A and B are shown apart, each in its own frame.
Chain A
Amino acid sequence: MLQTWFKIFFRNLQKNWLNSLVNISGLTLGLAGLIIVLLYINEEKSYNKWNPNKDDVYRIYNHTDRNGTWSVGTPAQAVVFKSDIPEVEDVLMVDHFYRDFIVDHDGNKMYSEKIAVSEPNFFAFFPFKIKAGSYSSFEKTRNQVALSKEFSNKLFGNESGVGQTVTINNRECIVAVVYTISGKSHYQPEVVLQFENPLPKNHWGNFMYAMFCKLTPDTDIKEVSKKMNNVIIERRHKPHAKEGGITIEEYEKRLGFMTVRYAKLADLRLQTVLLDGGPEGKGNKQLLYVLLGLSILLILISCVNFINLSTASATQRAKEVGVKKTLGLSKKQLILQYISEIVLQVFISFVFALILVELILPYFNQFVKTDMSILNTKVLSIVFLIVVLVSLFIGSIPALYLSNFKAIEVLKGSFSKSKKGVFARNVMLGIQFLISGFFLIGMLIIQVQMQFIINKDVGFSKEQIVAIKINRIGNEYAKYELFKKEIVKNPNVMEASYSLFVPGKGYINGTDFQYKEVPGFSAAVNLSDYNYLDFAGIKVLKGRSFSEKFASDTINKIIVNETLAKRIGVYDNPIGKKAKIGWSNEREFEIVGMIQDYHFSGFDVKIEPMFLMHPKAFSRFVNRMLAVQVKIKMENVDKTMLEIEEFWKQNIDNDYPFTYEFLDKIFAETYEKYKKQQTMFLILSVLVITIALLGLFALATLTIQQRLKEVAIRKTLGASVKEIMFQLLKSFLKIVLISSVALIPIAYFFMQNWLENFVYRIDMPILPYIITPLILIVLVFAVVGLKAYNATKVDLIKYLKFE
């Protein structure tokens, strides 16, 4: 019996090769997508899994309505949270990002870009595996340092480095611990350095450090966060209000309270509270959702194709069913047979999907910067389970449908199509049109939005400008001034300048800005040299730029951007206005100019209120330089850069590697990111639509085949080609129209949501909503029309006679 079944199965597969192709290819793609998404989710979820504290440690963020959410906290919070809230066992303050320094051991200099600078209790939160030394000795004094095994090997060879002295950033440190990291972690440092001095305990304005709280096991974080909010009011806002001589209610009205946000260490990788996830980056949650949605839709469409095609082709197999029933096969056996057929096809798809994933995975790894492998038993068993469920589901419907045929009717030839089945099939076809239409609209709108972003004016000239990284070498500003003076002697160098913010790299320093009665808010503090605005081609709209002619420019003058001027309501006349700057309101600055807004963070990031100071006006920060900027001629770029490097090594810094970036490349990377996402969405949409169209084609082929007799009758009665085609297309067109109507609000809702992710976005375009139904109609005409036209050429005699 099994042999007969296989024979019938394979012959049917051969006969209906189009159906099988549509079924198997659609499901293969859907399953492949699902495997990749699950691998990716698994990869992102594997972060911090090794950490025994993963469910008890929370990263705490601060939120105010005025300034949004900050990833960092202040040391004063750390102190009061620990002392006032019993559930908070311990608090860790650590730098949000890695630092990079030279680590020097007896002249053996190793450069590390992954140095975590922390309070001594770092390893209580991130207990990496100890290879040598001990954590207790690390915590003893602040000049103890910890090294990863790899880095220790680089520095000391195979000897244990414990007890050795290294110099980092002019500090003498003793290696206390050598560790290895057992899995993916929020911090994966090569070196753990301690803050040189204890952090100032009472400073409420110093938002500079990532803050982690370890709670007693099984504590409700919601309750704790409420307590934290109360502690902030009691310990910060109330004394602050008293100091200012206002009631707490008035204080809240004017300044608002600060509240905490949190994310568990276990979930940190995929949390979306902030733009930047941490030193090791964050998972691309949006991409994940898009991919998950797409693969589910692909599987759904494939299921619909499967069910539609097998029920529609059921009439062709009616005779087989009739004969089998007559010969005594029970209904149960029949159902089992037909389910098995479909299960077999689904499993073939599963195998193909595995092959496909193996082929695609290297590219996807490159795209999301991971190194996933398909050999993940957890993911594969989940997908396998899904495969089993899917095959049982889509198998049982056609199987029940088929096995319910009445043997006698079928054999006598008076078997007729069930109206109910046709309706269900139409509904499913409608869903497919809906999904395809959604992707068409999505594709069109995404295209328009991407063009809009990519063509947006960034507000400054980025061509020919190189940003050269300046490391912590001491006396940075003086060295920069020397560089600026000397480097222009190179005929290929046009000019050098400096601003703290490297355009495209963003906002790295902010402070409180108070102007008259306007509630204080956080503004970006950018430092810039006299010639910077001219150098970068940033337009001065009102007033002037900084100038050596005015000595006070290095003391108490600022230039604001448009956004800031608007925020304090002086856009029309900003010059001469005086503002208090800094968390302690200690100094008053005068506005001497207003510049046009430019994108100092990425072009996809909202422009924040920002003001410029001369570096010397902010002495604490004058040497905190990130990069100097040089404008060079476009000829002989390589040679020019070599000459600059030579000068740099001789006169500025010979220890750290010479690294530089072209500004237009920094921006190009962001463009590239968008382009890649756009391309990926395009490819997937084309896939989804193709699978849906293949399904439509196969279904049209079948339904038209079933209507050939009708066509022949109509033709005999004198119907023209046009009339017959209309008759055949009518039902499909009706479904397209109904789906299009349903499509508009659904697509509008989702695309509106998507657009809201962008700070700079287009208004919802209307055209895609008009074009898409038209495209669908054209596609139906093309796909079904072709089949219908062929049908009008039907051999009349054959169908009238032998039907």
Chain B
Amino acid sequence: MIKITDIVKVYRTEEVETTALNNLSLEVKEGEFVSIMGASGCGKSTLLNIIGLLDAPNNGSYLFDGTEVAKKMEKERAGLRKANIGFVFQNFNLIDELTVFENVELPLIYNKVKSSERKKRVNEILERIGIAHRAKHFPLQLSGGQQQRVAVARALVTNPKLILADEPTGNLDSKSGNDVMELLSELHATGSTIVMVTHSGYDAQFSSRIITLKDGEIVAEKVNDRKVDLLVQ
């Protein structure tokens, strides 16, 4: 599904040049649930942005589903993004002026799905995530955990090939965080491919493989036996 080879990402400001990713290579197979960990500034968010086609590397190759995308223009990346990738952010990134239903509907509109079909699919996913009773509420009327569920629903509604989660539990209390992680596990169990950036070793235990970054390079990789220690909470 994802094959990254020797990618480099350098950020330049007037004074400093920071190498965020340094000849990094990574492969994620379909159906995998990969966690990326590491200290602040290790490049994990940069990696996620590149995987999510929000950003382009300076150098190296990125095959997404067999297509080379590293050198593609923003417009083409946008096309691939909306058809294939769902995003879950730490701060949810819901649009405050739209209701839960409308927020979830948005990617379908941009994917030119017909109105009746949209309605069906949004209702299905809200049902599945367990937030259907809140469909007419606005984001600010919901708790953080509920908001993140809506964000997950929005990420899933297009049936993306890949779900990217950037510290999905970072802004949540542990109970809500756990709920969200269980939701992601379920998705994984039903065959979704997920890449997640996290600080939390606990959250990482939900995934099938944990990659640790330091200074833009992979320093450790561990295949998880998927035993979640529930007592840690």
Residue in contact with B110 in the complex, picked from A416, A709, A718, CB distance below 8 Å:
A718
The chain B residue sitting closest to A714, CB to CB, is B106
Query: In the complex the two chains form, is B96's CB within 8 Å of A416's CB?
Result: yes
Selected interface stretch from A126-134, A636-644, A794-802: A794-802
Q: How far is the CA of A274 from the CA of B9 in the complex (A)?
A: 82
Q: How far is the CA of A414 from the CA of B82 in the complex (A)?
A: 29
B93 at the interface (CB under 8 A from A): yes
Q: How far is the CA of A803 from the CA of B91 in the complex (A)?
A: 8
A596 at the interface (CB under 8 A from B): no
Query: In the complex the two chains form, is B54's CB within 8 Å of A718's CB?
Result: no
A719 at the interface (CB under 8 A from B): yes
Residue in contact with A718 in the complex, picked from B55, B83, B97, CB distance below 8 Å:
B83
Query: In the complex the two chains form, is A718's CB within 8 Å of B81's CB?
Result: yes
Q: How far is the CA of A717 from the CA of B82 in the complex (A)?
A: 6
Query: In the complex the two chains form, is B107's CB within 8 Å of A718's CB?
Result: yes
A 133-154 to B, binary, CB cutoff 8 A, 1 in contact else 0: 0000000000000000000000
Which residues of chain A are within 8 angstroms of B82 by Cβ–Cβ distance? 717-719
Query: In the complex the two chains form, is B93's CB within 8 Å of A800's CB?
Result: yes
Query: In the complex the two chains form, is B93's CB within 8 Å of A723's CB?
Result: no
Which residues of chain A are within 8 angstroms of B97 by Cβ–Cβ distance? 710
The chain B residue sitting closest to A793, CB to CB, is B74
Interface hub of B83, B91, B94, B140 (most chain A Cβ within 10 A): B91
Q: How far is the CA of A710 from the CA of B96 in the complex (A)?
A: 8
Query: In the complex the two chains form, is A797's CB within 8 Å of B55's CB?
Result: yes
Q: How far is the CA of A187 from the CA of B81 in the complex (A)?
A: 85
The smallest beta-carbon distance between B217 and chain A, in angstroms, is 21
Query: In the complex the two chains form, is A709's CB within 8 Å of B54's CB?
Result: no
Which residues of chain B are within 8 angstroms of A651 by Cβ–Cβ distance? none
B39 at the interface (CB under 8 A from A): no
The smallest beta-carbon distance between A651 and chain B, in angstroms, is 91
Q: How far is the CA of A709 from the CA of B93 in the complex (A)?
A: 8
B101 at the interface (CB under 8 A from A): no
The chain B residue sitting closest to A724, CB to CB, is B110
Q: How far is the CA of A250 from the CA of B13 in the complex (A)?
A: 99
Q: Is the interface of A mostly helix, strand, loop or mixed?
A: helix
Query: In the complex the two chains form, is B95's CB within 8 Å of A713's CB?
Result: yes
B40 at the interface (CB under 8 A from A): no
Which residues of chain B are within 8 angstroms of A803 by Cβ–Cβ distance? 91, 93
Query: In the complex the two chains form, is A718's CB within 8 Å of B140's CB?
Result: no
Which residues of chain A are within 8 angstroms of B78 by Cβ–Cβ distance? 715, 718, 720
A 413-450 to B, binary, CB cutoff 8 A, 1 in contact else 0: 01010000000000000000000000000000000000
Q: In chain B, residues 90-137, which have Cβ atoms closer than 8 Å to a Cβ of chain A? A: 91, 93-97, 106-107, 110-111
- Knowing A416-B140, A717-B154, A801-B45 are in contact, say whether A723-B54 is a contact too (CB < 8 A): no
B 158-197 to A, binary, CB cutoff 8 A, 1 in contact else 0: 0000000000000000000000000000000000000000
B25 at the interface (CB under 8 A from A): no
Interface hub of A414, A718, A723, A796 (most chain B Cβ within 10 A): A718
Query: In the complex the two chains form, is A723's CB within 8 Å of B55's CB?
Result: no
Which residues of chain A are within 8 angstroms of B87 by Cβ–Cβ distance? 716-717
B49 at the interface (CB under 8 A from A): yes
Q: How far is the CA of A12 from the CA of B100 in the complex (A)?
A: 37
Query: In the complex the two chains form, is B110's CB within 8 Å of A716's CB?
Result: no
Which residues of chain B are within 8 angstroms of A723 by Cβ–Cβ distance? 110
Q: In chain A, residues 710-758, which have Cβ atoms closer than 8 Å to a Cβ of chain B? A: 710, 712-720, 723
Query: In the complex the two chains form, is A717's CB within 8 Å of B106's CB?
Result: yes
Which residues of chain A are within 8 angstroms of B54 by Cβ–Cβ distance? 716, 796-797, 800
Which residues of chain A are within 8 angstroms of B45 by Cβ–Cβ distance? 797, 801
A 350-362 to B, binary, CB cutoff 8 A, 1 in contact else 0: 0000000000000
- Knowing A717-B106, A717-B107, A719-B110 are in contact, say whether A797-B49 is a contact too (CB < 8 A): yes
The smallest beta-carbon distance between A523 and chain B, in angstroms, is 73
The smallest beta-carbon distance between A722 and chain B, in angstroms, is 11
Q: Give the B interface residue count (CB, 8 A).
A: 23
B33 at the interface (CB under 8 A from A): no
Q: How far is the CA of A716 from the CA of B54 in the complex (A)?
A: 7
Q: How far is the CA of A796 from the CA of B46 in the complex (A)?
A: 12
B62 at the interface (CB under 8 A from A): no
The smallest beta-carbon distance between A723 and chain B, in angstroms, is 7
Q: How far is the CA of A719 from the CA of B98 in the complex (A)?
A: 15
The chain A residue sitting closest to B49, CB to CB, is A797
The smallest beta-carbon distance between B16 and chain A, in angstroms, is 17
The chain A residue sitting closest to B84, CB to CB, is A718
The smallest beta-carbon distance between A20 and chain B, in angstroms, is 27
B89 at the interface (CB under 8 A from A): yes
Which residues of chain B are within 8 angstroms of A800 by Cβ–Cβ distance? 54, 89, 93
Q: How far is the CA of A84 from the CA of B89 in the complex (A)?
A: 97
Q: How far is the CA of A103 from the CA of B81 in the complex (A)?
A: 98
The chain A residue sitting closest to B111, CB to CB, is A718
Q: In chain A, residues 694-721, which have Cβ atoms closer than 8 Å to a Cβ of chain B? A: 709-710, 712-720
Query: In the complex the two chains form, is B91's CB within 8 Å of A717's CB?
Result: no
B 189-225 to A, binary, CB cutoff 8 A, 1 in contact else 0: 0000000000000000000000000000000000000
Residue in contact with B81 in the complex, picked from A414, A716, A797, CB distance below 8 Å:
A716
The chain B residue sitting closest to A417, CB to CB, is B96
Q: In chain A, residues 754-803, which have Cβ atoms closer than 8 Å to a Cβ of chain B? A: 796-797, 800-801, 803
The chain B residue sitting closest to A716, CB to CB, is B87
Q: How far is the CA of A717 from the CA of B95 in the complex (A)?
A: 12
Q: How far is the CA of A331 from the CA of B55 in the complex (A)?
A: 45
Which residues of chain B are within 8 angstroms of A719 by Cβ–Cβ distance? 82, 106, 110
Q: How far is the CA of A12 from the CA of B101 in the complex (A)?
A: 39
Q: How far is the CA of A448 from the CA of B107 in the complex (A)?
A: 51
Q: How far is the CA of A189 from the CA of B215 in the complex (A)?
A: 97
The chain B residue sitting closest to A796, CB to CB, is B54
Q: How far is the CA of A709 from the CA of B55 in the complex (A)?
A: 17
Q: How far is the CA of A712 from the CA of B49 in the complex (A)?
A: 13
Q: How far is the CA of A712 from the CA of B45 in the complex (A)?
A: 16
Q: How far is the CA of A720 from the CA of B82 in the complex (A)?
A: 10
Query: In the complex the two chains form, is A710's CB within 8 Å of B110's CB?
Result: no
Which residues of chain A are within 8 angstroms of B111 by Cβ–Cβ distance? 718
The smallest beta-carbon distance between B124 and chain A, in angstroms, is 18
Which residues of chain B are within 8 angstroms of A715 by Cβ–Cβ distance? 78
Q: How far is the CA of A360 from the CA of B82 in the complex (A)?
A: 59
Known: A717-B106, A718-B81, A719-B82. 16 other contacts (CB 8 A): A709-B93, A712-B93, A713-B95, A714-B95, A714-B106, A714-B110, A717-B107, A717-B110, A717-B154, A718-B79, A718-B83, A718-B110, A723-B110, A797-B49, A797-B54, A801-B45
Q: Which 10 A-B pairs have the closest CB atoms?
A: A718-B82, A718-B110, A717-B107, A713-B93, A719-B110, A796-B54, A710-B95, A717-B106, A797-B49, A718-B81
Residues of A whose CB lies within 8 Å of any CB of B are 414, 416, 709-710, 712-720, 723, 796-797, 800-801, 803
Q: What would 26 A/B residue contacts be, using CB atoms closer than 8 Å?
A: A416-B96, A416-B140, A712-B93, A713-B93, A713-B95, A714-B106, A714-B110, A716-B54, A717-B87, A717-B107, A717-B110, A717-B154, A718-B81, A718-B82, A719-B82, A719-B110, A720-B78, A720-B110, A796-B54, A796-B55, A797-B49, A797-B55, A800-B54, A800-B89, A803-B91, A803-B93
